[in-house]
A = this chain, B = another copy of it.
Amino acid sequence: MTSWFANLSPLDHRYHASAPELWEELSGILSEEAYIRYQMQVEWALVEALERRGLCPKGSGDQVRAACERVSPEDVRREEARTRHNIRALVNCLQGEVGEKVRPFIHLTATSADVMDTARALQLRDVTNLSIVPRLKEFLTILITLAEKTANIPTVGRTHGQHGVPITFGFAIAEYISRLGSRLVAITNAKNNLRGKMAGAVGAYNASSLLCADPMEFEKEVLGLLGLTPGGHSTQIVEPEYTLDLGHTLVSTFGVLANFADDMRHLQRTEISEVGEAFAEGQVGSSTMPHKRNPWNFEHVKSLWKAFMPRMVTLYMDQISEHQRDLTNSASGRFVVEIATALAMALERLIKVTKKLSVDEGQMLANLKSRAHLIVAEPLYILLASYGHPDAHEAVRKLTLEAEKTGQSLADLAQASSELASYTERFTPEQRKVISDPLTYTGQAATKCVEICTIWSQKITQI
């Protein structure tokens, strides 16, 4: 027993403290304790399948199930301290809790990796199902609500950090709905493609072939009891690409969150101030600058991404295992669960802060107006060209320089230009409106925003 406070990993101390319920939830799936419980499930499934085939005494499966209840993960750790082999320890513990006739059938034909890899797949499936997917859906729902509410709020579109042409705030949020929506689909697909194995020490069913004529079928039966299927080919371990693909979907989801966080924190810059994190009563912004309102939750999510994204490199390195397996993916493979942990924590954080995000419509309009006279450059050029001006882009570029020099608006300069008159006089009233009121030049921003909200509101319910 030690205090979580003495732990070494920030996941187990600082981020434990900042989200204790989530930590408990994840611990129930991803801790060593939980891992051992999953391993016991696998050992049960094996004996249960043996029994169903009549290869061991009736009631064996139930005996093992009961043993799994009685054996605590701590018992297993104590036994491991003696045997120095985790799965042998587990087997010893279970054997101690079943009748003598059942004992020999525990773990029979299995190799440690059959149990460990299958248990890992169960952990990753469950953390995805129980902790990641629900939070991702909740975050998507919050974004959809936000986008629907702000679908028509004009704001400036920014490229290179510069004012471009107008969009609506909802349209900017819809980007993240679309990207995260497609990540949700990707995560779900990868999670559904996790695999287990019960193919023995080198994957060739050597041991199980001694007991039955169709060991590949038998493997399906064992895994089927756990809701899994076997991989395409196993060595001592499951093909690494199933987990790798899941890792990719988790990390790439993290990347979208980091981009969202970056956008939000830049929109909170003092000079921009279009959105804001709500601050709790009594919360301190800075230990020395009491007036600060920092976007620290968004900064936190970006920072977590920096800590966890590079770990994909570990997963890519773990694709390599010599011959029928070397053990150099063992320690590294254990850290995979930390990626899921960090992603769940990032989602949790974003859900809380985005739910209360304050959107300053007035400031958006003010910012947009500050350069609105220049925004007109693009529609002017498009319209001139569409009416046949042979070099509209260059014509507008020069007009822009003149506008900057004289302080006149582009619209006025265009109107006054005799060179352009043959084109501008053919503009329709709607077209004139865009030129004179460039804030209406938002294209399909609102429409597209609503379309994306509709699509994903529906799709979420189907996943």
Q: Given A179-B241, A312-B316, A374-B291, decide whether A326 and B159 contact each other with a Cβ distance below 8 A.
A: yes
Name 11 A/B residue pairs within 8 A (Cβ), A-sorted.
A1-B4, A5-B74, A7-B7, A159-B326, A160-B265, A165-B204, A210-B382, A216-B447, A290-B377, A290-B393, A303-B333
Q: Check A209 against B286 for contact (C-beta < 8 Å).
A: no
B interface footprint on A200-213 (CB within 8 Å = 1, 0 otherwise): 11111111111100
A12: Cβ under 8 A from any B Cβ:
yes
**B182-A239 in contact (CB<8A):** yes
User: Taking CB as reference atom, which chain B residue is nearest A284?
Assistant: B85
* In the bound complex, CA of A319 to CA of B108 (Å): 42
CB pair B381–A290 under 8 Å, yes or no, is yes
Q: How far is the CB of A384 from chain B (nearest CB, A)?
A: 8
Partner of A161, one of B87, B323, B329, B335: B323
Assess whether A164 is in contact with B201, with CB atoms less than 8 Å apart: yes
B290 touches A400 (CB 8 A): yes
Give A133-168 as 1s and 0s: 1 = Cβ < 8 Å from B's Cβ atoms.
000000000000000000000001111111111111
B320:A255 contact, CB within 8 angstroms: yes
Q: Once bound together, how far apart are the Cα atoms of A244 and B259, in whole Å?
A: 14
Residue A348 is within 8 A (CB to CB) of chain B in the complex: no
Q: Is A419 an interface residue (CB 8 A)?
A: no
> Which residue on B lies nearest to A441, using beta carbons?
B206
Q: How far, in angstroms, from A367 to B286 measured CA to CA in the complex?
A: 21
Any B CB within 8 A of the CB of A383: yes
Cβ contacts under 8 Å, A294 to chain B: 159-160, 162, 327
Q: Is A337 an interface residue, CB under 8 A from the partner?
A: yes
Out of B13, B162, B389, name the residue touching A293 (CB < 8 Å): B162
Q: Please name 9 further chain A to chain B contacts, defined as beta carbons within 8 Å, in addition to the given A112-B287, A160-B295, A309-B317, sorted by A numbering.
A: A3-B74, A9-B12, A84-B284, A157-B324, A255-B319, A258-B320, A269-B272, A307-B335, A317-B317
> Of the candidates B77, B167, B205, B388, which one forms a contact with A17 in the assembled complex, judged by CB atoms under 8 Å apart?
B77
Tell me which of A110, A186, A289 has the highest count of chain B C-beta atoms within 10 A of its own C-beta. Answer: A289
Pick the contact of A7: B12, B107, B302 (CB < 8 A).
B12
Residue of B nearest to A330 (CB): B303
Ranked nearest first, the 4 interchain pairs of A and B with the lowest CB-CB distance are: A157-B202, A9-B9, A255-B319, A206-B443
- The answer to whether A165 touches B299 (Cβ under 8 A) is no
Whether A210 pairs with B83 at a CB distance below 8 angstroms is: no
CB-defined contacts of A239 to chain B, threshold 8 Å: 175, 178-179, 182
B326 to A299, Cβ gap below 8 A? yes
A338 adjacent to chain B (CB < 8 Å): yes
Chain A contact patch, size range: 35 or more
B12:A182 contact, CB within 8 angstroms: no
**Of A216, A231, A233, A370, which is in contact with the most chain B CB atoms at under 10 Å from its CB?**
A233
- Give min CB distance, A297 to chain B, whole Å: 10
Complex: A447 Cα to B35 Cα, angstroms: 33
B163 lies within 8 A of A270 (CB): yes
Residue A33 at the chain B interface, CB threshold 8 Å: yes
Measured between alpha carbons, how far is A300 from B84 in the docked complex, in Å?
Answer: 14
Hey, which chain B residues are within 8 Å of A6, CB to CB?
Answer: 27, 31-33
What is the CA–CA distance of A408 and B248 in the complex, to the nearest angstrom?
51
Residues in B with CB closer than 8 Å to A208 are 443
Does A120 touch B at the CB level, under 8 Å?
Answer: no
CA distance A85 to B290 in the complex (A): 12
Flag whether A463 is at the interface (Cβ < 8 A). no
Q: Which residue of B lies closest to A279 (CB)?
A: B84
Decide if B307 touches A379 in the complex (CB within 8 Å).
Answer: no
Q: Determine if A448 and B284 form an interchain contact, defined as CB atoms under 8 angstroms apart.
A: no
Q: How far is the CA of A291 from the CA of B314 in the complex (A)?
A: 31
**Residue contact A165 to B202, C-beta cutoff 8 Å:** yes
Name the segment of A62-70, A96-104, A220-228, A353-361 touching the other chain. A96-104
